[in-house]
DNA sequence: ACAAACTGTTGTAAATACTGAACGCTATTG
DNA sequence: CAATAGCGTTCAGTATTTACAACAGTTTGT
């Protein structure tokens, strides 16, 4: 979360000097220096100007993750998933030990009557899933769908959405969301 | 790309007033007002402070796309998935019509003897999955694992990996990969 | 109707970021 | 050995952003 260090590593990765980047970006070299030393917190406009000289967007800049080469666990037995259940809905997360989680991969079970409630729109990402057992109702935006075994979905997480099981047998769903909000 | 408009829409989405957000964020209301009117370009530190009051990260803030009303297909029936099978392995992709695919969400079937072959290390990204039926062997790096029904996995796509079904019943797998390489 | 509590929008003064011109340093070149 | 060109850092002055406080307008409650 260190803007200075982050900028410096990107700049060096691109093989640019402070002055070179400054020239391309249309700022002075001292600006770059001070930003990298965290002696100032740049304004959005000037950081944007600086990044334009790389070039790189603000999103890219902030989402750049400092790499980590963990030798983490790969396989998780059925009983090793971490339970993040919410109300009646059972949700089990794959990859508990994973550091830089990009996907939230879940096994979800909706007992009869279960409902996620009207989730607020979640700003980022996309999600997909497939129904493994039972039937389930999916509402995305103003549309309502009935999922049956083998059916799947894919939508932007930013749209308001909701899962509901109005039937009398449990529904089992496997889903993936990116980026992970857990 | 308009910071002011962006902040305002998020704030209103959360049902906060300028003063309320200001209080939570530890800044003054005038700061919020001026940022939203684009009469200033806030510093990273103050924008970060403001967003903390929502709360929201800088990445989320900048990656929030304002309008995204793509009326693309949401639900895909079992027979609507597009088949990208490779050799003996059946692979069906969810969300064929989706424009900005971030996840490759697949339903895969490995008949007895099927093998993906030694896949080359696959760019960056991560993948996760869960076994729905049968048994399957997964090799990641130098490690080999046996997946049974309900077991799952999560690893960096950059590690060399391979799936194989040495058993005499078909194996069914649901997987998610990001970013999508299809 | 009036007051109280809220909304967002301004000035002005204080705090912070940016520029331009130094500085010391290392490497390359004649 | 200069001399030149590059590097990143620092300092004083200027430009911009922020806090504080006052403002007008709208809604809530008595």
The domains located in chain B, with CATH, are 3-63 (1.10.260.40), 78-178 (2.60.120.10)
Instruction: Please check whether strand D approaches the CB of B130 to within 7 Å.
Output: no
B3 token code pair = 């910071």
Size of interface A-B (CB pairs under 8 A): 179
Residues of B within 8 A of A100 (CB-CB) are 126
- What HEC string does B39-105 produce? CCCCEHHHHHHHHHCCCCCHHHHHHCCCCCCCCCCCEECHHHCEECCECCEEEEECCCCCCCCCCEE
Give the tens place of pLDDT for each residue, A162-180: 888 888 999 999 988 876 6
CB contact under 8 A, B41 and A44: yes
Give the tens place of pLDDT for each residue, B50-107: 998 888 888 778 876 544 444 456 677 777 677 777 778 888 877 666 655 667 788 8
Q: What is the pLDDT of residue B160?
A: 66
B148 token code pair = 């049974």
CB contact under 8 A, B178 and A140: no
CA distance B17 to B25: 12
Q: What is the pLDDT of residue B1?
A: 60
Q: How far is the CA of B28 from the C1' of D22 (A)?
A: 14
Q: What is the pLDDT of residue A98?
A: 60
User: Residue A74 is nearest to which of B63, B105, B140, comparing CB atoms?
Assistant: B140
Query: Nearest nucleotide, C1' to the C-alpha of B39?
Result: D17
Q: HSE, CB side, 13 Å, CA atoms: give it for residue B108.
A: 26
Q: What is the pLDDT of residue B69?
A: 42
Instruction: Please check whether strand D approaches the CB of A14 to within 7 Å.
Output: no
Q: What is the pLDDT of residue A52?
A: 85
Instruction: Please check whether strand D approaches the CB of B40 to within 7 Å.
Output: yes
Instruction: Please check whether strand C approaches the CB of B41 to within 7 Å.
Output: no
**Percent of chain A at pLDDT exceeding 90:** 9
Residues of B within 8 A of A153 (CB-CB) are 74-76, 94-95
Instruction: Please check whether strand D approaches the CB of B46 to within 7 Å.
Output: yes
Q: What is the pLDDT of residue B100?
A: 57
pTM, to two decimals: 0.54
Chain D: nucleotides below 7 Å from protein CB are 6-11, 16-22
Q: How far is the CA of B19 from the C1' of C13 (A)?
A: 21
Q: Is B170 exposed, middle or buried (0-12, 13-18, 19+ CB in 10 A)?
A: middle
Local structure of A119: helix, strand or coil: coil
CA distance B80 to B72: 14
Q: How far is the CA of A160 from the C1' of D26 (A)?
A: 31
Chain C: nucleotides below 7 Å from protein CB are 6-11, 16-21
Q: How far is the CA of B154 from the C1' of D12 (A)?
A: 56
- Average pLDDT of B150-176? 84
C-alpha closest to that of B125 among A16, A65, A171: A65
Question: Per residue of chain A (182 residues), what is the pLDDT tens digit?
Answer: 688 888 888 888 777 889 889 988 889 999 999 999 999 999 988 898 899 888 887 877 887 654 333 445 667 777 767 777 767 788 877 766 665 556 778 888 988 888 876 554 455 567 788 888 899 888 776 677 888 888 888 877 766 678 888 889 999 999 888 766 55
């Amino acid at each position: 979360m260190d803007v200075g260090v982050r900028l410096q590593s990107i700049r060096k990765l691109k093989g640019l000097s402070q002055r070179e980047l400054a020239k391309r970006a249309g700022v002075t070299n001292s600006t770059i220096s001070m930003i990298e030393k965290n002696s100032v917190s740049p304004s959005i406009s000037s950081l944007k100007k600086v990044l334009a000289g790389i070039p790189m967007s603000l999103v890219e800049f902030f989402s750049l993750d400092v790499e980590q080469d963990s030798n983490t666990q790969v396989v998780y037995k059925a009983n090793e998933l971490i339970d993040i259940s919410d109300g009646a809905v059972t949700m089990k997360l794959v990859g508990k030990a994973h550091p830089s989680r990009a996907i939230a991969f879940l096994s979800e079970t909706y007992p009869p009557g279960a409902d996620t409630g009207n989730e607020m729109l979640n700003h980022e990402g996309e999600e997909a899933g497939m129904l493994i057992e039972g039937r389930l109702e999916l509402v995305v935006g103003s549309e309502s769908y009935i999922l049956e075994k083998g059916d799947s979905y894919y939508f932007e997480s930013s749209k308001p959405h909701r899962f509901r099981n109005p039937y009398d047998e449990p529904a089992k769903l496997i889903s993936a969301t990116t980026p992970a909000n857990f």
